[in-house]
Structure 1
Amino acid sequence: MIKKTFIAIIAIGLFNSCQTDDLQLGEIETNSYEFTVNTKDLSGLVSRNSESACYSTPLIAGQNYTAGRIDVEIVNEEGVDFVYITYLTNEDWVLKLTHLYAGDKEGIPETKKGNPQPGVFEKRMDYEANIISDFEVEYKIPAEALNECFYIAAHCEVVKVDEKGNEIQRETGWGEGEEFEGGSWAMYFEFCKFSCETGGGDTGGEK
């Protein structure tokens, strides 16, 4: 479990975007943002009833594959609302890396050409990221930190393995939505809180 958590922290916190074209990370004023990703390995637990999500969009891998979905829901925990954004892959794909941005559209880290910079997404928000299994990673964000309607860019890397556990394919993935203006196939989508009915949800328990 310790080894898995360490790998997750490296994957979520340190991976740099493959879309580097003409912008260096130093050009983004990251020091003015909180950056706290607390990764918990909760393998074997079910975080929530995944059918309760009030918004879901396909998780597209390599432009041509549906590798799973991105779920969004609002859960009330002891009187406080939290937005949960969850990566869920199907049995064919394993999650190896995730980067998430949630907030104003203008705040999405982009290159000068208009392509996203996933490697610094989490520097824009105080996130908690939980690993539920090789097929599920969830992000938890205080709802009050987000506007009524906001934008989500959900990036990941997924792999296929054969029956012997050998990696046979690796792809970049994005939550399906609108494409960025830079010419890559990266995507983002809009979510509004009024899409959810809050209250009654809790997390982290076995079912």
Structure 2
Amino acid sequence: MKTKILSLFLGVFTITLTSCETENSSDQSTASRQIAPVANSVNVSELSPCAYTELIADQRYDAGDIKVYFDATNVYVEYQASISWLIRETHLFIGKQNMIPLNRYGSPNPSLFPISESFEGGTEAAIYSLPRAGLPKCFTISAFAVVNRLQNGSVVQTESAWSEGVRFNQESWGMFFDVCQSDCSN
């Protein structure tokens, strides 16, 4: 049953992502900043975040924020870069904690997270939308990113970053946080 639900969830999400078209930014410089498209036309600036956590790069830098929003039908997860940082890749898991892809040591494997995206020139923000009905009342989010730090318009540092929260284990700095739909108003 869990496999069927996961397969249905992944299928709906894949259809949602593939229905969006993005511009090819190959002619943009590395330092240019663009906003990643939302999987639909909802403007999250009209919503209040229900949950919020820092995006921590290299276990010590505040590279941005992860914000969770709800409306009547969807949940939105926003990656937002801090000043002087750009997001190059996102890897997102939303669902039951026991379904997070882990390696044999119990550390998360973000390359197997069901939601992934790359941004050639980097982006200030990326927003992902999922139907609320497909999620349990309380669920886990694990948000991973590859980020670039800029100085005078040039990339000076590339780091991995995790949403701040509970560590999966002491050997890994991968983290997750929990959100309950009942804690969030429409």
Deviations 1:120-171 (A, max 9, x none): 111xxxx697x8x8110011011111101000000001001222x3210011
Q: Offset at 1:51? A: 6.6
The CA deviation at 1:182 is 5.9
Percent of pairs with identical residues: 31
Q: How does 1:56-75 map to 2 (within 5 A)?
A: 56-75=52-71
Counterpart of 1:189 (choices 172, 177, 185) is 177
> Which range is displaced more, 93-102 or 182-191?
182-191
Q: Any conservation in 2 of the 1:115–1:182 contact (CA below 8 Å)? A: no
Where 2:160 maps in the other structure, the secondary structure is: strand
Q: Distance in 1 between matches of 2:69 and 2:103?
A: 30
2:37 matches 1:48: no
1:50-88 Cα offsets, whole Å, 9 max, x none, are 771111011111101111110001123xxxx10000101
Question: What amino acid is the match of 1:170?
Answer: T
Identify which of 136, 151, 156 aligns with 1:162: 151
After superposition, the CA RMSD in angstroms is: 2.7
- Residues in 2 aligned to 1:59 and 1:160: alpha-carbon distance in whole angstroms: 13
| 1:100 correspondence with 2:88 | no
- The two structures have a TM-score, normalised by structure 1, of 0.68
Q: Which has the higher strand share?
A: 2
Structure-2-length-normalised TM-score:
0.75
Q: 1:73-84 alignment to 2 at 5 Å?
A: 73-76=69-72, 81-84=73-76
Alignment of 1:135-150 (within 5 A): 135-150=124-139
Structure 2: give runs of 5+ residues left out of the alignment.
24-33
Residue in structure 1 matched with residue 168 of structure 2 by the alignment: 180
Relative to 1, partners in 2 of residues 1:195 and 1:96: Cα closer, same or farther, differing over 3 Å? same
Answer yes or no: is the 8 Å Cα contact 1:128–1:141 preserved in 2: no
The answer to whether the 8 A contact 1:115-1:181 is kept is yes
